[in-house]
């Protein structure tokens, strides 16, 4: 497929194309996957070939909540664009990270940090980017509610910055097709580190995210795309639960993969 390229600097307001109710097919049969995990949630899928959209729980699909670690996609794009991330193998040493001693705080490459969702690595990148540059890019692409109040290294976790599943779906599509106002190599690098499963039947790329919303619910995201038979499909899963002890990461992945399997994926036939 031909990819469309946008200007490299944010001299315009960039809007996500969001899913609309009249374009979406509602599939309430998917509720069982959320019920089996004892969570509330939403799921959306965009078939790029036909433009068709499948949604479970449209009400939640259009509600904005904290992006959690899915914001590492944006931190990566801005960090690469601003020259703070040079390549996937860029290492940040332990002594540049927070003073908290943990297993996560070892020296990591950018790819490793992204794929294990290292908080300290991307907090350091956010500090290097700075508030002014961060705000410029968040505003330019109209990311969710654009609110970056709070510490520069954690504002995406404090329930000020919020984005809806609908908007996340638009972001995934634009990232895949180089349609965000970042340099092409920045978008390609982020796509590379999002690739989690690559085999002869399909390629599965995603980023997960965990958080706590303003009502003290545990939240979980899975945002990304699956490629099969030379076609790409974008998806977003959002899950919420009042249970603080829930294994949300396992729940969100089981829901996502269960739904994709029911819809016919993972066979190389879609």
The set of catalytic residues is 69
The two three-digit tokens of residue 84, written as one number: 């703070």
Sheet holding 218-228, edge to edge: 24-26, 53-56, 40-47, 231-241, 218-228, 203-212, 195-198
Angle, helices 131-140/72-81, rounded to nearest 10 degrees: 110
Compute the radius of gyration of the chain from its Cα atoms: 18
CB atoms within 10 A of CB 231: 13
177 backbone dihedrals φ, ψ, rounded to 5°: -100, 20
β partners of residue 42: 238
b vs e for 132-142, b when ≥16 Cβ sit within 10 Å of the residue's Cβ?
Answer: eebeebbebbe
Q: Are 110 and 88 in contact (CB under 8 A)?
A: yes
CB-count burial class (<10 Å; 0-12, 13-18, 19+) for 156: buried
CB-count burial class (<10 Å; 0-12, 13-18, 19+) for 147: middle
The two three-digit tokens of residue 181, written as one number: 């106002």
């Amino acid at each position: 497929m031909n990819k469309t390229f946008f200007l490299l600097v944010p001299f315009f307001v960039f809007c996500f194309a969001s899913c609309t109710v009249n374009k979406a097919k509602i599939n309430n049969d998917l509720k069982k996957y959320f019920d089996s995990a004892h969570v509330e949630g939403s799921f959306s899928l965009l078939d790029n070939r036909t433009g068709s959209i499948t949604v479970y729980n449209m009400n939640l699909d259009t509600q904005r909540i904290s992006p959690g670690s899915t914001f590492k996609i944006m931190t990566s794009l801005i960090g690469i664009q601003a020259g703070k991330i040079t390549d996937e193998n860029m290492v940040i040493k332990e002594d540049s990270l927070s003073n908290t001693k943990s297993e996560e705080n070892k020296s990591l490459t950018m790819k490793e940090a992204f794929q294990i969702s290292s908080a300290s690595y991307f907090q350091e990148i956010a500090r290097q980017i700075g508030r002014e540059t961060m705000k410029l890019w968040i505003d330019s692409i109209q990311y969710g509610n654009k609110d970056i109040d709070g510490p520069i290294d954690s504002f995406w976790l404090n329930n000020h910055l919020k984005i809806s599943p609908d908007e996340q779906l638009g972001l995934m599509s634009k990232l895949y097709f180089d349609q965000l106002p970042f340099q092409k190599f920045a978008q390609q690098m982020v796509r590379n580190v999002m690739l989690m499963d690559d085999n002869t039947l399909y390629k599965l790329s995603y980023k997960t995210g965990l958080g706590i919303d303003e009502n003290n619910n545990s939240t979980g995201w899975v945002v990304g795309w699956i490629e099969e038979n030379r076609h790409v499909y974008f998806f977003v899963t959002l899950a919420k639960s009042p249970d603080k002890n829930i294994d949300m990461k396992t729940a969100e992945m089981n829901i996502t993969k269960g739904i994709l399997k029911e819809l016919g994926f993972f066979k190389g036939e879609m």
